Amino acid sequence: MGTLAADETLQRILQALEAARRVLASFTPGAVSTEYKAGRDPVTEADRAVNQVLREFLVRDGEGWLSEESADDPSRLTLQHVWIVDPLDGTREFVEGIPEWCVSVAKVENGRAVAGGILNPATGELFLGSTATGVTYNGVHVRASLRSTLDGALVLGSRSEVTRGEWARFEDAPFVLKPMGSVAYKLACVAAGLADATWTLVPKHEWDVAAGAALVLAGGGFVLTLDNAVPTFNNPDALLTGLIAGGPRMREPIESFLRPYMVVAGRP
């Protein structure tokens, strides 16, 4: 994607996120009526309202759509340009009034996440970027951390994974762990250099991570699945094995540290 095309895409993402911000202004985090899907995942009217406005602002003729809050349309698999969105990533935090939730929008071209925008209305943070233009954080150009060691690194971990005890295995690790909701928000923080790395060793859907992956790559960082591959998007099965992300110099130390949990050359 060339710079001019990227600028137009980012403008569209920005307009969609600002429209989502206006919609969300009518809801009060921590005081929202909540329903539960199969598996006890929460969903609110805010999720559905933001989903609708994002689609209205983003999709044009010939473009596909994949969203957590929309029925999947397999025709997306035949298209080169696809929007992958999570209208409200971190719904659990939104429901509980914890300011670690966001609106997540990714543009995917031929399976590659090339542009993304992540808005956290609760904190007023806006992350926007593309592989052609780099990343901005509240309008200021930023980049991923240049730290080269896990010693003292700030690593963002899933609040729910930490609560379930899945990070107990890392309790003697040399890094500083900060639990946080919303995997999209965590990836955005890594893209902007606000944290050094993040990972999840449990499966995530494409809509959870596509925008964050685009931003980390745009910020000069790296993103890998647990089978040591750069993730591709707009797949028939939208579930990824897990995700690892960090600044460009963190790849080797993180791969070495997480090797017991990764799949190398097709073997565990």
- Is 147 within a domain? no
- Same domain membership, residue 162 and residue 62: no
The residue from 112, 142, 172 where one domain ends is: 142
CB distance 244 to 224 below 8 Å: yes
In one-letter notation, the amino acid at residue 154 is L
With cut-offs at 50, 70 and 90, classify the pLDDT of residue 248: very high
- Is 115 within a domain? yes
Q: How many domains does the chain have?
A: 2
DSSP string, 75-114: GGGG-SEEEEEEEEETHHHHHHT-S--EEEEEEEETTEEE
- Same domain membership, residue 55 and residue 18: yes
Query: Per mean pLDDT, which range of 33-37, 96-100, 119-123 is the poorest?
Result: 33-37
- Same domain membership, residue 118 and residue 64: yes
Classify the phi-psi angles of 110: left when phi > 0, otherwise alpha if psi is within -120 to 50, otherwise beta: left
- Same domain membership, residue 126 and residue 16: yes
- Is 224 within a domain? yes
Exposure string for 231-250, b = 16+ CB within 10 A, e = fewer? bebbeeebebbbbbbbbbbb
- Same domain membership, residue 66 and residue 45: yes
Q: Is 132 helix (H, G, I), strand (E, B) or coil?
A: coil
pLDDT > 70: percent of the chain = 93
- Same domain membership, residue 166 and residue 131: no
- Same domain membership, residue 118 and residue 27: yes
The residue from 116, 142, 168 where one domain ends is: 142
- Is 231 within a domain? yes
Query: Which residue(s) pair with 267 in the sheet?
Result: 264
Q: What is the mean pLDDT of residues 131-138?
A: 97
Q: Is 246 helix (H, G, I), strand (E, B) or coil?
A: strand
Does residue 86 surpass a pLDDT of 50? yes
The residue from 82, 110, 142 where one domain ends is: 142
Residue 121, judged by CB atoms within 10 A of its CB (0-12, 13-18, 19+), counts as: buried
- Same domain membership, residue 256 and residue 233: yes
- Same domain membership, residue 38 and residue 162: no
Other beta carbons less than 10 A from residue 79's beta carbon:
16
With cut-offs at 50, 70 and 90, classify the pLDDT of residue 38: low
- Is 267 within a domain? no
- CATH assignment of the domain containing 31: 3.30.540.10
- CATH assignment of the domain containing 247: 3.40.190.80
- Is 148 within a domain? no
Tell me how far apart the alpha carbons of residues 77 and 101 are, in angstroms, rounded to a whole number. Answer: 29
- Same domain membership, residue 222 and residue 197: yes
- Looking at every residue in the chain, the average pLDDT score rounds to 92
Tell me how far apart the alpha carbons of residues 211 and 207 are, in angstroms, rounded to a whole number. Answer: 8
Q: What is the mean pLDDT of residues 96-120?
A: 96
* Phi, psi dihedral angles at 44 (to 5 degrees): -130, 170
Does residue 40 surpass a pLDDT of 80? no
Does residue 268 surpass a pLDDT of 50? no
Structural domain including 201 reads 154-261
- Is 182 within a domain? yes
- Over residues 178-221, the pLDDT tens digits come to 999 999 999 999 999 999 999 999 999 999 999 999 999 999 99
- Pick the more confident residue, 41 or 209: 209
Other beta carbons less than 10 A from residue 162's beta carbon:
16
Q: What is the mean pLDDT of residues 2-25?
A: 92
Does residue 92 surpass a pLDDT of 90? no
- Same domain membership, residue 160 and residue 137: no
- Is 58 within a domain? yes
- Same domain membership, residue 207 and residue 105: no
Other beta carbons less than 10 A from residue 268's beta carbon:
9
